Structure formats: C-alpha cells, structure tokens
Amino acid sequence: MENLRELYQQVILDHNKNPRNFRKMEHPDGFAHGNNPLCGDQIDIYLKLKDGVVEDVSFDGNGCAICTSSASMMTVALKGKTEAEAKALFDSFHHALTEDTAYPDDIPLGKLEVLKGVKDYPVRVKCATLAWHTFDAALRKFQGDISTE
C-alpha cells in the first residue's frame, strides 16, 4: 500500500491532474490511435517531425491515472529527440517496466524513472506503456509514409 501510495503520489498528483501537451494537433505528421480494450483506455498521439527530430508531440483521450500521466511525461521526454533517440528511449522504458534484468544499453530514463514502480503491478504495465506503443505506431506510420513516397 505504501509503495502504491508513493507511486501515485509522485506520478499522478501532478501529471494526471495537469497533463502536459494534452491537445489535438492540426495537420500532424504522424498520428495513431491506441486502445486498451480491457480497461477502456483510449489515446490519440499526434506528432510533428522536422529533419528527423520530434518537434512536437501531443495526446488526447481518456485513460486511468497511470495511462494519462505516462502519456503526459512521454510527450515532455520526447520533444527534441531524434527519431532514433525516441525509439531507443521507448525500448529502454519498455524494458524497465517489463524485464528484471538491466537494459544492455541503458539509456537514462530521467523523470520517467518514477514509472518503474508500475512494474510491481503487472496488470497495470500496459496502462503505462499504451502511450508509448501508440507513439511508436504513429512514428512507424510516418516513416512508412515516407518510405512509400
């Protein structure tokens, strides 16, 4: 219970109540809809890229506190990252929440570190990773669009 309280206190009190970059985006370069049918979490990720760098990323939707705050923190963490850096951060974050071993090429998670506590609540891991998977899908779509052009 204490762990849980701590996890939520660090994460939700701020980001759940005041999610950052919580807005639709006009004319995004990348867009994907994420859906967690088990709990009804729905999230849209919008993305703008310039010269291979994430210039802007925002989200919209409806989810639990872990989902919302993770999405909010993700948008903050991703801005200014190159596509490759963003992808590496996703891998590192995903690894931290799902694996016991240290990540081989450990990339510092920075503020995302607090979400590692979610690992103790296995059924909630997908709440924390939904935004990231959706971002990944948006990025792939963008990349796919480019490569087919």
Partner 1 sequence: MSNVAQYDVVSIRNDFPILSREVHGRPLVYLDNAASSQRPRQVIDAVRGLYEHSYSNVHRGVHQLSQESSRLYEDARVAVRGFINASCVHEVVFTRGTTESINLVAQSYARPLLKAGDEILITHMEHHSNIVPWQMVCQQTGAVLKVVPISDAGELEMGRFNEMLSDRTRLVSVVHVSNALGTVNPVKTIIDAAHAKGIPVLVDGAQAVPHIGVDVQELNADFYVFSGHKLYGPTGVGVLYGKEKLLNAMPPYQGGGDMILSVSFEKTEYNTLPYKFEAGTPNIAGVIGLGAAIEYVRKIGLGAIAAHEHGLLEYATKQLKQIEGLRIIGEAGQKAGLISFVLDAVHPHDIGTFLDADGVAVRTGHHCAQPVMDRYGVPATARASFAMYNTFKEIDVLAEAIVKTIEMFG
Q: Which residues bind partner 1 (CB under 8 A)?
A: 1, 4-5, 8-9, 12, 16, 37-42, 62-68, 121, 124, 127
For the bound state, the minimum distance from the C-beta of residue 121 to partner 1, rounded and expressed in Å, comes to 6
Decide whether 35 or 82 has the Cβ nearer to partner 1.
35
For the bound state, the minimum distance from the C-beta of residue 39 to partner 1, rounded and expressed in Å, comes to 5
Task: Take residue 71 and report the two structure tokens written for it.
Answer: 């999405």
Task: Take residue 133 and report the two structure tokens written for it.
Answer: 């998977």
Decide whether 36 or 92 has the Cβ nearer to partner 1.
36
For the bound state, the minimum distance from the C-beta of residue 18 to partner 1, rounded and expressed in Å, comes to 13
Decide whether 1 or 102 has the Cβ nearer to partner 1.
1
DSSP β-bridge partners for residue 98:
none
For the bound state, the minimum distance from the C-beta of residue 145 to partner 1, rounded and expressed in Å, comes to 30
